[in-house]
Amino acid sequence: MATVAGTAISITARPSRRSLQVFNGISVVKSVSFASQRKSFPSIRSHPATPCFRVSCAAKPETLEKVCKIVKKQLALPENSTVAGHSKFSDLGADSLDTVEIVMGLEEAFGITVEEDSAQSIVTVQDAADLIEDLVCVKSA
Amino acid sequence: MRRLLRGDMLPLLSNLVSRRLVISSLPSLPPAPLPSRREAHLWYVVPNELEDASLLQDYRELLSPCEKENILSIKGEALKKCAILSRVLVRTTLSRYTDCKVNPRLFKFRKNRFGKPEVERQIGALWVSSSLQFNISHTSSMIACGITVDVPIGIDIEEKQRKPVNNILSLAHRYFSPYEVQYLASFMDPETQQSEFLRLWTLKEAYVKALGRGFSGAPFRDFTIRFEKSTDSVVPEQPKSEEFRIMIDTAFDSENLTANWQFALVELGGSHLAAICMEKDENMSGTEQDFLKLKVWKTLPYVEDKCMSETDAVKNISGLS
């Protein structure tokens, strides 16, 4: 955690907490906020068309690959089926039980814990990989 | 014969807009009478029964431009078909409850602040006179739409035989309340444990969907679903069921997780579990509140509707009056 001396701003390494609801495959980003920055920055409302503000870098290719493998296994997709970063879980036929199972599978594979609201914020496979990268970073920091 | 034209179907009350948009060979839908306050209606479709490619094409034409675009990004014919059927089921079901005055194509949807889809009552110059509430759920082998008037509803369906990839107790430890974990752990037989897990899962899903908050707005760990043995003397006319009631406990300090909801759990078509959750009617006395009335239809829109209530296809597990 870094603090800028002389000001009240602090930046945590925690992943952005986004609250997304997924209903029947349609997801809506409710808001984006940083817990420790609430006084300095208002929560940013965004919708799927605008990029979400995050303090993180994109996932490493090997992370994404591992995630794709776990997703294919959970959804029982054939080996040669296309699961890429841009694939939406709902488009892959994942229902809510699949989603929580995938999250659990990812937690076990990467040794991390994904919070309930972040879990539901995952729309694409890339989102999942990015979130995992954040959490793995925090864990090893 | 691909489509059945029933003699008692009312003519579609079309308006200029719908005549311009819809040059369709689809016949009219039969209207459906509105559910009463304590009633939920459930319509379900079995994707495998749709084999006619041109009917699927006609269905696709009922979708909004946005929905059509979403379908394009789905890979795989089976998934595309389910996605189309899902939208068609919602649109045609809603249309039935407007006495078929509103063409299925015309419905517009918005989302509540948590993302739950709701239907707009104002559609151009038309006004949908009842506050229709709906909720959909789907598996690869069945899609269902629940309907109520005025009262929020949530439904969830699952294949009875669905076996989670992960260990059931691990899933429960991770997501369920301590009471529910204990409950599941009490079952030694893995198949029974699996079945009880699915029952809890569908009921919990139905609840968070009825609340309109979804999984992250109402974390599963924060409320408990339990099965309480009913005492016969209290409800003399209780139908054949496993004689238990579905109860919900929410944390004492929870503003958002309310407990005035009633549940029903049924087996559909011998293959699926369906959980239905709707708000209790405070005007009803005591235990009357606990049971909800359910009517079920199986449909292939514009082809066939079959009322399945009172048949073997709908088996009450708990909660139905």
- % of chain B surpassing 70 pLDDT: 85
Q: Rounded mean pLDDT of A13-31?
A: 39
Across the interface, of B139, B215, B221, the residue whose CB is closest to A120 is B215
At B265, list the tokens: 């759990």
Residues composing chain A: 141
Q: Categorize the per-residue pLDDT at B253 as very low, low, confident or very high, splitting at 50, 70 and 90.
A: low
**Alpha helices in B12-101, H assignment, sequence order:** 16-21, 53-60, 65-72, 77-96
Q: Rounded mean pLDDT of B195-205?
A: 97
Q: Where are the beta strands (DSSP E) in B208-271?
A: 223-229, 244-250, 261-268
Decide if A93 and B82 are in contact by the 8 Å CB cutoff.
yes
Q: Rounded mean pLDDT of B292-299?
A: 94
B306-B308-B309 Cα angle (round to 5): 140
Assess A93–B contact: CB distance below 8 Å, yes or no.
yes
Read off the pLDDT of residues B211-244 as tens digits, 9 standing for 90 and up: 988 777 788 988 999 999 876 545 555 454 457 8
Whether the CB-CB separation of B265 and B273 falls below 8 Å is answered with: yes
Q: Rounded mean pLDDT of A16-29?
A: 40
Q: Rounded mean pLDDT of B87-107?
A: 93
Of A45-59, B17-31, B173-187, least confident by mean pLDDT is A45-59
Across the interface, of A25, A105, A116, the residue whose CB is closest to B219 is A116
Assess B91–A contact: CB distance below 8 Å, yes or no.
no
Assess A31–B contact: CB distance below 8 Å, yes or no.
no
Across the interface, of A22, A87, A100, the residue whose CB is closest to B115 is A22
The Cα–Cα gap between B156 and B135 comes to: 9
Nearest to B203 by CA among B178, B182, B183, B220: B220
Assess A65–B contact: CB distance below 8 Å, yes or no.
no
- Shortest distance, CA A47 to any CA of chain B (angstroms): 11
Kindly provide the b/e burial profile for residues B187-212, where b requires at least 16 CB atoms within 10 angstroms of the residue's own CB. Answer: beeeeebbbbbbbbbbbbbbbbbbbb
Higher-pLDDT residue of B3 and B301 is: B301
Assess B170–A contact: CB distance below 8 Å, yes or no.
yes
Which chain A residues are Cβ-neighbours of B63 within 8 angstroms?
A: none
What pLDDT shows up at residue A55? 53
Cα–Cα distances in Å, from B33 out to A116, B8, B105, B194, B258? 40, 14, 20, 38, 30
Nearest to B55 by CA among B222, B299, B234: B299
Cα–Cα distances in Å, from A58 out to A62, A128, B98, B115? 12, 10, 49, 26
Q: Rounded mean pLDDT of B75-79?
A: 88
- Residue reference for tokens 């069921």: B241
Read off the pLDDT of residues B157-187 as tens digits, 9 standing for 90 and up: 999 999 998 999 999 999 999 999 999 999 9
Decide if A26 and B111 are in contact by the 8 Å CB cutoff.
yes
Read off the pLDDT of residues A117-137 as tens digits, 9 standing for 90 and up: 776 677 889 999 998 998 888
Of A61-65, B4-8, B80-84, B152-156, least confident by mean pLDDT is B4-8
Q: Categorize the per-residue pLDDT at B18 as very low, low, confident or very high, splitting at 50, 70 and 90.
A: very low
Higher-pLDDT residue of B301 and A15 is: B301
Nearest to B299 by CA among B69, B61, B104, B80: B104
The DSSP symbol for B9 reads P
Share in percent of chain A as helix, strand, coil (round to 5):
35, 15, 50
The Cα–Cα gap between B8 and B26 comes to: 16
End-to-end Cα, chain B, rounded Å: 38
